Amino acid sequence: MMRTAWRIFVASWKHVWRNLWIGLATVVVFTVALLSVNVLIATNVLLERAVQFIEDRVDVTVLFQPNTPQGVLDQAKFYLTSLPQTASVQIVSADDALAAFKERNKGNQKILDALAELPGNPLGAELVIKAHDTADYPFLLDAVRNPQYLPFIHTSSYEDHRDAIAWIEDAARSLRLFGSALVAIFALFGLLAAFNAIRVAIYTQREEIAIMRLVGATSGYIRWPFVLEGVWLAAFAALITAGAVAFGMAYGEPRLAQFFGMDTGLRDFYASEWPLLVLAEFGSMALLSACVSWIAAGRYIKR
Amino acid sequence: MIVLEHVSKTYYPQSVGLDDVSLRIEPGEFVSIVGQSGAGKTTLAKILMAEEQPSAGRIEIGGWDITNIRAREIPELRRQIGVIFQDYKLLPKKTVAENVAFALEVSGAKGAHIREVVPQVLKIVGLEDRAHRFPRQLSGGEQQRVVIARSLVHRPKVLLADEPTGNLDTLNTQDIMDLLVKINAFGTTVVLVTHNREVVNALRRRVITLKDGRIVTDHQHGKYTL
């Protein structure tokens, strides 16, 4: 048994080296299939990151009446922070709000002059609320508008963001769905290409298969070297793909980050997911080529 | 011993390969099966090596009834019958030694046994110095000698040669026939399927003539009469 297994193992390696060009062509097809799936996965990560980036920019600002007691502000912050939907709550004091207002309008002398005419600080303190999920903003606003704080609230800026938040939610949902569908379609095309590459590789060796049978080889003894050969080719393709992705991370990702002006999230994604990705890509390719090799070789094994 | 009893082979829909053929070939015989194209020679060879199944009749080789041989038993049969083909049927990506060794490997022979037997059979066919060449680097005659070496590794009781000289010139034909006669002299039954008149007449051994799938003559010291 061990002797036969060893011979099949050796024969599979000889198959690889003595059919080098067909093997190379098959590895190229496998690699292109895996790379296209990786490009799609990376695009999906980028999309997710972009959506996250925009979502992080969204917040709700509750403007309080001037002279609202600090105790009310602290209590409102404590209450909102205790809600599971809340990511963060920040109090911006009336003075800081005024300073920020002046900074924003430093190019508009008319506004600055009008502000100087007023006796004191016309702005009240603000609460800047960030939610974990954009869908939770209406809930958080309702929460802060309870009778305890409502008399002190001047206005909330959520109304201004409502459309933008809804748009982002829709866009994020569509992009995630579109990205997943695209990855699935490319994976399918990749598998089909790999399927045909193996079939063609075995077709070119159909006469050898018939000869092996004629000199007394069993069906398994003929098939297993082809199956193992397919697994080796899948391993080569997975390694080359992993190398290409690593190269892309080292040289392409910094340029991409610079281009978008934000962290792409690709490094973190690949740093945490690469063992699973390489295993999944190798595993699916190896399984596919092993199954196709078994079936395709069997087609040429006659009596 | 090879026994065929009322063997027929019909191809769909009504083409007759063999028609009620009965014969006995004794151990150690050298038998030539002759006939024109379409006479049924190759069908007979294919049935003997279980590449085809008969439509009717019974076949026995060395006491083994192979009439309804199961697919998984065929490799075992082929390890017991040496087969030589007109188109050599060598594995092009294996060297001469590997081609010969392959026939032993498939039967699970030990490495030491293979390393001992392969050089021996290559020496018998005069190719010990070509062991590491690939088939494409050999002449037609040399390739056919590799095939003979491959068929000998199991020390078969029966050697079936289907048009072994069909692709060879006169000189190589003579070499191959000399080898077959030598193998027969060691006790192996040789069944030669051919339409080469000179070869058959030079042998002066038993000749079975087929025509339209039937045996028309069977002479112990026959000649090619068609």
At B10, the pLDDT band (50, 70, 90 cuts) reads very high
Instruction: Please compute Rg for chain A using Cα positions.
Output: 31
Question: pLDDT class for A265, splitting at 50, 70, 90?
Answer: confident
**Cβ contact A60:A76 at 8 Å:** no
If asked whether residues A234 and A294 sit together in one domain, one would say yes
Would the CB atoms of A18 and B93 count as touching at under 8 Å?
A: yes
**CB B75 to CB A4 under 8 A?**
no
Measure in Å the smallest separation between the Cα of B180 and chain A Cα atoms: 19
A189 and A154 in a single domain? The answer is: no
* H helix intervals, B125-217: 140-152, 170-185, 197-203
Q: How far apart are CA A268 and CA A70, in angstroms?
A: 41
CA distances (Å), origin A164, targets A88, A130, A134, A169, B108: 20, 15, 10, 9, 73
The shortest C-alpha distance from A218 to chain B (Å) reads 6
User: Domain check: are A147 and A252 in the same one?
Assistant: no
Residues near B126 by beta carbon (within 8 Å), at least 6 away in sequence? B145
Q: Looking at the domain assignment, is residue A163 inside a domain? A: no
CA-CA distance, A224 to A229, in Å (whole number)? 8
Q: Which residues of A touch B49 (CB under 8 A)?
A: 214
- Grade residue A206 by pLDDT with cuts at 50, 70 and 90: confident
Whether residue B112 lies within 8 A of chain A, CB to CB, comes out as no
pLDDT at residue number B184? 93
CB-CB contact of A299 with A207 (8 Å): no
- Tens of pLDDT, residue by residue over B121-151, are 999 899 999 999 999 999 998 999 999 999 8
What are phi and psi for residue B128, nearest 5 degrees? -60, -30
**Residue A107 and residue A208 share a domain:** no
How many structural domains are present in chain A?
2
Residues 181-240 of A with CB under 8 A from B: 208, 210-219, 221
Return the minimum-mean-pLDDT range out of A21-35, A141-155, A183-197, B151-165. Answer: A183-197
Of A14, A217, A303, the CB nearest to B106: A217
Residues A34, A176: one domain?
A: yes
Please check whether residues A138 and A211 belong to one and the same domain. no
Q: A126, A158, A190 — which closes off a domain?
A: A158
Two tokens, residue A245: 């992705």
**A89-135 per-position pLDDT tens digit:** 999 988 888 888 888 888 888 888 888 888 888 888 888 888 888 77
CB contact B108 to A (< 8 Å)? yes
A65 with A44, same domain: the answer is no
**pTM for this entry:** 0.67
Q: Does B102 touch chain A (CB under 8 A)?
A: yes
Cα-based distances in Å from B147 to A93, A217, A235, B158: 97, 16, 36, 15
The CB density around residue B118, as the number of other CB atoms within 10 Å, is 24
Q: What is the mean pLDDT of residues B165-187?
A: 89
Residues A114 and A263 in one domain: no
Can you give the pLDDT at residue A165? 64
Domain covering B2-219: architecture: 3-Layer(aba) Sandwich (3.40)
Size of interface A-B (CB pairs under 8 A): 59
Cross-chain CB nearest to B78 (options A14, A15, A214): A214
Between residues B104 and A49, the one the model is more confident about: B104
CA-only gyration radius of chain B, Å: 17
CA of A195 to nearest chain B CA: how many angstroms apart? 24
Mean pLDDT of B51-79: 90
Q: Residue A162: pLDDT band by 50, 70, 90 thresholds?
A: low
SS3 B14: coil
Tell me: do A137 and A90 sit in the same domain: yes
Q: Does A4 touch chain B (CB under 8 A)?
A: yes
| Same domain as A83, residue A29 | no
Spatial separation of the C-alpha atoms in residues B188 and B84, rounded to whole Å: 14
Axis crossing angle, helix B140-152 with helix B111-124, rounded to the nearest 10: 130
Task: For residue B45, give every residue at least 6 positions away whose Cβ sits within 8 Å of its Cβ, in sequence order, or none.
Answer: B33, B160, B162, B191, B193
% residues pLDDT > 70 (chain A): 96
Pairing state between β A60-64 and A153-156: antiparallel
Same domain, A79 and A198: no
Q: How far apart are CA B16 and CA A147, in angstroms?
A: 102
Report the distance separating Cα B225 and Cα A71, nearest Å.
Answer: 124
Which of A101, A134, A158 delimits the end of a domain? A158
Q: How confident is the model at residue A303 (pLDDT cuts 50, 70, 90)?
A: low
**Model ipTM over 0.95:** no
Residue A161 is predicted with a pLDDT of 60
CATH code for the domain in which residue A149 is found: 3.30.70.3040
The domain in which residue A207 lies consists of 2-54+168-299
- Shared domain check, A137 and A259: no
Cis? peptide before B13, omega within 30° of 0:
yes
pLDDT at A32 over 70: yes
Nearest residue in B to A18, CA atom: B93
Count CB atoms within 10 A of the CB of residue B33: 28
Predicted local distance difference test score (pLDDT) of residue B226: 67
Alpha-carbon torsion angle B191, B192, B193, B194, nearest 10? -170
Report chain B's terminal Cα–Cα distance, integer Å.
27
Distance of alpha carbon A56 from alpha carbon A165, whole angstroms: 11
Residues A44-82 pLDDT 10s: 788 778 777 777 777 788 888 888 888 888 998 999 999
Lowest mean pLDDT among A37-41, A238-242, B27-31: A37-41
Single out the residue in A136, A158, A180 at which a domain terminates.
Answer: A158
Domain ranges of chain B: 2-219
